[in-house]
Amino acid sequence: MPIETTQNIWHNGDLIPWEKAQIHVMSHVIHYGSSVFEGIRCYKQAEGAGIFRLSEHMQRLLDSAKIYRMELGFTLQQLTAAVVDVVEANGVAPCYIRPIAFRGYGEIGVNPVANPMEVYIANFPWGKYVPGNDGADVCVSSWNRLAPNTMPSLAKAGANYMNSQLIRMEAGINGYSEGIALDTNGYLSEGSGENLFLVRGGTLYTTPLANSVLSGITRDSVLTLARQMGIPIVEQALPREMLYICDEAFFTGTAVEVTHLRSVDRILIGDGTIGPITQALHKAFFDIVNGLAPDRYNWLTPVKVREAVAV
Ligand SMILES: Cc1ncc(COP(=O)(O)O)c(C=O)c1O
């Protein structure tokens, strides 16, 4: 989907015009994928808007950078303030926020350390990611997720998304809206850009971090809501066939939010409609982000936006 531009992008401490946010083709990141990034949603509220779990997202950016020995030169407080600045300057809500840090222009060669770090934060209007409120029809991918001790799954690094692209393209070509990848041991891992949850017999199952998943912030939010609702939670390695015999299944992620799965590999999940536990978690999540329920976990950072843009 085409990007709708906004006016400003934050770059290394300053707001610059959108069209000036450019890099040289010989920048290290272009050749070797040396970037880490985040995706954050800002929700429209009755008054102003709220950025969802800003601090946790920017901490994950710092964690991703730390894994790759990248020094961003900004503290967590500076980075969260920068996000608020750019969102308020652009005045667009609801929106998607994309902070990215990468190795810039300087030296060619795999060893990246002599290249300067560049940090940018952009935001723009963005709508639904997995189409259809009727549930997503997905498949198990023929591609595995990243093997342990190869590309670190806990780092949200640009290079990881070459694997995601293979999963996503294959799913699309075969008529599915998304693919679920297994880890290299054949256990369920995650979607190309989403964490996976299953429900069976009233228990909520999700794959643990050791199964090559990103530590999703929406995943954590759903686990928090489920805990509070008294839903039993099991985080354990899950065999592929759990997908076919579960009562409910859903994806979580900043892009997909909470999206229920209608079928996997053309096998209907339950009766294909959103199940009661998914529905309850979906409602609890959207009530908070849309400002219909109290923000009891302090998940939203308020921002002042001048105008609302429908997406
Ligand atoms: C591979 C992958 N897994 C899971 C997620 C979900 O994470 P979050 O809920 O923090 O957006 C994402 C999205 O960032 C992702 O790219």
Supply the residue whose CA is at minimum distance from atom 6 of ligand 1: 253
The arithmetic mean of pLDDT across residues 89-109, rounded, is: 96
- Interval 56-88: pLDDT, tens: 999 999 999 999 999 999 999 999 999 999 999
- Give the Å distance between the CA of 106 and the centre of ligand 1: 31
Active site members = 156
Q: Which stretches does DSSP call E strand in 53-146? A: 92-93, 95-103, 117-124, 136-144
Bond from prior residue into 94 cis (ω within 30 degrees of 0): yes
Q: What's the distance, Cα to Cα, between the start and end of the chain in Å? A: 12
| pLDDT of the residue at 128 | 63
The arithmetic mean of pLDDT across residues 195-199, rounded, is: 98
**Which is it for the CA torsion 47, 51, 52, 55, positive or negative?**
negative
Q: Report the percentage of the chain scoring pLDDT > 70.
A: 96
Who has greater pLDDT, 154 or 46? 154
Q: Find the length of the chain.
A: 311
Q: Which residues lie closer than 8 Å to 116 by C-beta, 6 or more apart? A: 103, 104, 105, 106
pLDDT above 80: residue 233: yes
- Give the Å distance between the CA of 107 and the centre of ligand 1: 31
pLDDT above 80: residue 48: yes
24: three-class secondary structure by DSSP: coil
- Interval 242-251: pLDDT, tens: 999 999 999 9
83: three-class secondary structure by DSSP: helix
Supply the residue whose CA is at minimum distance from atom 16 of ligand 1: 193
- Give the Å distance between the CA of 45 and the centre of ligand 1: 24
Who has greater pLDDT, 155 or 48? 155
The arithmetic mean of pLDDT across residues 219-224, rounded, is: 98
Supply the residue whose CA is at minimum distance from atom 2 of ligand 1: 193
- Interval 289-309: pLDDT, tens: 999 999 999 999 999 987 555
pLDDT confidence bin for 311, thresholds 50/70/90: very low
Closest ligand 1 atom to residue 164 Cα is 1
pLDDT above 70: residue 283: yes
**Probe ligand 1: pick from 161, 182, 214, max atoms within 8 Å of CB?**
214
pLDDT confidence bin for 8, thresholds 50/70/90: very high
Closest ligand 1 atom to residue 156 Cα is 16
Q: What are phi and psi of 53, to 5 degrees?
A: 50, 50
- Ligand 1 shell residues, CB under 6 Å: 39, 164, 190, 193-195, 214, 216-219, 252-254
Report pTM. 0.96
Q: What is the mean pLDDT of the chain?
A: 95
| pLDDT of the residue at 137 | 97
- Interval 14-36: pLDDT, tens: 999 999 999 999 999 999 999 99
